Amino acid sequence: MVSVRPNGIGAAVRAVGRAALGAALLAAGACSGAKRDDSGATSGTPPGTPPGAGATPTPSPYVADIPPWPADTTAVGVDQDGRLRSELAAAVPSCGGETPVVAQDSVGPLFPGMPIANLFGRCPHPLQLWHRGNGQYTPALAVTLGNALLLMDASGTMADAVIIRITAVSGARTSEGIGPGSPLADVQRAYGAPTWRRDQCAVDALFDSRPGLVVHTTFPDNGSDAYTCEDIRRFGTGSDFSHFPRGATVGWIAAELVDVN
């Protein structure tokens, strides 16, 4: 068994989660006795109110009792590249039949900042995992939407934790057509010059034109002894992808919370 280190998400993320969950709970209480007619108005709307005016939005479903995460990080661990072993990939449940578009602030109906209480309400049985990155494990969840396999990192394991990153491991692309397997030259044409985020043994590209969008790079022989971690970090240099080996591509693409330490 591998011990789990704290994931380092700051108080700001936890505050976002508590506020979002509290809002959902308050909305749920406000709607508990109201019925919606075909016009969109609730049964408590005063006479003469135009249809839809004053109607209380239906809150997203939520589940406050979150199942515990597996204690063994090795058995349900996912590496930095988001690769799920075949037995884990086969166990990922479907959360819908429509393949989503990856945007800088959402992936289909899911979005960074979404409380995991609401995620469990929408997708009752996501596969609970541990995602290893930068030398530590983060609680994660996996679902499929249409042809897309999505891996979601969370700020914690309680109901007020939030989704901090939604990664399209496969099957989903941005509106510009960028997704896993896309050449890095296509990425630069779509989003402009990258800035770099270096992990212990990986490089992600970020873009001023799309805050929140993250491109994880991969290349032939990635994961082998062909390159040291120092080599890999040096690939992310300058204002383009020219230092990467020939054949380098997008490993995964993700939407994440912005300015979270």
Per-residue pLDDT of 173-201, as tens digits, reads 999 999 999 999 999 999 999 999 998 89
Q: What pLDDT is attached to residue 260?
A: 54
Question: Taking 60 as the threshold, does the pLDDT of residue 133 lie above it?
Answer: yes
What tens digit of pLDDT does each residue of 103-123 get? 999 999 999 999 999 999 999
Q: What pLDDT is attached to residue 81?
A: 86
Which three-class secondary structure state does DSSP give residue 53?
coil
State mean pLDDT over 56-72.
Answer: 78
Please give the sequence-ordered ranges of beta strands (E in DSSP) within the chain, or none if there are none: 77-78, 101-102, 127-133, 136-145, 148-154, 163-170, 173-174, 194-198, 203-207, 213-218, 249-256
